[in-house]
């Protein structure tokens, strides 16, 4: 009898072992990743800011395609930091959920908001080392309003998640939080959810969030595990390629300044893309401006720089101001008192032609001078 009991026990243990092996999926090694290289001389940033929201809740500890979903999510952040060039963007990384050994808070801003560096994003993502806890995505989206409240311009919120909210938590609370963030940032904000897993309800949530942004899209995590896939994602979301061919110069205006009550547009000095160097063709016009200012010592000039719409607002703000300052420097070197000259940069906020054509963008890369009497 004892023999049969022993054999039964052994058979039962063996059966449990076999079932356990059948349920437990083998861990698949993370495939090698060769990042796509983007030359910063060929691209400008399409964004002023981006915030990554990383799901580190307990459901991310479940396996998908042979690995924990959380491992896949962390790898995506790493791949992004290896691929995206540093172009002056502001960046942040916020997580939600996570193990109590990482933080006892529901959501934490581990990186930023600060000027993006590849090293900074990669190192700070390593602090989110374990998944666990509930799935308060709505809490992270609400906290993101504080992260972004002092930032303006084109903004992307990248959410890496399986879309599985906490048990009993209704979908609308997450969508309401996403909508509130969209309302705060306006048309400049787009959502780019990255879906990890195969849960249909989770995918539906991510699609609904993207729809709230009205300008983003959902990407499946599997696609971003390859260098080419991540490269395409970075190009689609984060970058704008610089024009390869410059448009022909617009027709020059007469090299005589108009009446002092009107704006003077330096027509022969339209700037090349991404440049603030005055073309020699504009010197004669500016020399005429110098003659007028010397004959009218009570006249002051507001110099206003402008750009086309390629690139971020932050970058073009600086570029338009550099163009205005280049004209100011020219006038000062010709003997005009610097105290009579002031500079402003308007980026692409005041176009005089369509930015949808090369010719229109060329005309928007300009400097205007407004003579005033004080």
Asked whether residue 258 carries a pLDDT value surpassing 60, the answer given is no
- Tens-place pLDDT, residues 81-92: 999 999 989 999
Report the run of H or E that residue 114 belongs to, with start and end.
Answer: strand 107-115
Contact assessment for residue 324 and residue 344, using Cβ atoms and an 8 Å cutoff:
yes
Report the run of H or E that residue 368 belongs to, with start and end.
Answer: strand 367-373
- What pLDDT was estimated at residue 27? 64
DSSP state of 267: G
Which pLDDT band, with edges at 50, 70 and 90, does 269 fall under?
low
- Domain 264-373 fold: 60s Ribosomal Protein L30; Chain: A; (3.30.1330)
Asked whether residue 198 carries a pLDDT value surpassing 70, the answer given is yes
For the chain, state the CA radius of gyration.
Answer: 28
DSSP state of 316: H
Query: Average pLDDT of the chain?
Result: 85
- What pLDDT was estimated at residue 281? 77
Cβ partners under 8 Å of residue 244, min gap 6: none
The closest of 180, 367, 184, 160 to 278, measured between CA atoms, is: 367
- Domain 33-241 fold: Rossmann fold (3.40.50)
Asked whether residue 266 carries a pLDDT value surpassing 80, the answer given is no
Domain boundaries, the chain: 33-241, 264-373
Higher pLDDT, 299 or 260: 299
Asked whether residue 166 carries a pLDDT value surpassing 60, the answer given is no
Asked whether residue 69 carries a pLDDT value surpassing 50, the answer given is yes
């Amino acid at each position: 009898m004892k023999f049969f009991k022993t054999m039964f026990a052994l058979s039962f243990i063996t059966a449990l072992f076999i079932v356990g092996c059948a349920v437990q999926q083998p861990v698949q090694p993370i495939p090698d990743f060769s990042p796509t290289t983007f030359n910063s001389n060929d691209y400008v940033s399409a964004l002023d800011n981006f915030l990554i929201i990383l799901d580190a809740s307990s459901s991310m500890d479940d396996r998908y395609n042979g690995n924990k979903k959380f491992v896949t999510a962390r790898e995506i952040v790493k791949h992004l930091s290896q691929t995206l060039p540093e172009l002056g963007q502001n960046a942040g990384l916020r997580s939600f959920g996570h193990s109590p050994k990482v933080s006892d808070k529901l959501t934490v801003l581990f990186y930023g908001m600060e000027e993006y560096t590849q090293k900074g994003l990669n190192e700070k993502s390593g602090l989110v080392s374990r998944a666990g806890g509930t799935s308060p995505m709505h809490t992270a989206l609400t906290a993101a309003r504080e992260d972004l409240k002092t930032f303006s311009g084109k903004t992307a919120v990248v959410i890496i998640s399986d879309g599985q909210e906490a048990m009993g938590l209704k979908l609308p609370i997450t969508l309401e939080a996403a909508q509130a963030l969209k309302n705060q940032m306006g048309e400049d904000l787009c959502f780019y959810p990255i879906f990890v897993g195969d849960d249909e309800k989770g995918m539906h949530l991510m699609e609904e969030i993207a729809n709230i942004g009205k300008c983003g899209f959902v990407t499946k995590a599997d696609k971003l595990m390859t260098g080419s896939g991540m490269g395409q994602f970075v190009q689609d979301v984060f970058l704008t390629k610089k024009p390869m061919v410059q448009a022909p110069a617009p027709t020059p205006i007469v090299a005589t300044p108009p009446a002092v009550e009107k704006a003077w547009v330096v027509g022969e000095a339209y700037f090349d893309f991404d440049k603030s160097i005055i073309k020699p063709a504009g010197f004669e016009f500016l020399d005429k401006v110098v003659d007028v200012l010397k004959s009218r010592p009570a006249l002051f000039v507001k110099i206003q720089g402008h750009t086309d719409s390629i690139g971020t607002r932050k970058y073009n703000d600086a570029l338009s101001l550099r163009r205005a300052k280049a004209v100011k420097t020219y006038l000062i070197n010709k003997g005009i008192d610097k105290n009579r000259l002031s500079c402003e940069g308007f980026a692409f906020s005041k176009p005089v032609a369509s930015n949808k054509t090369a010719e229109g963008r060329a005309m928007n890369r300009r400097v205007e001078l407004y003579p005033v009497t004080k």
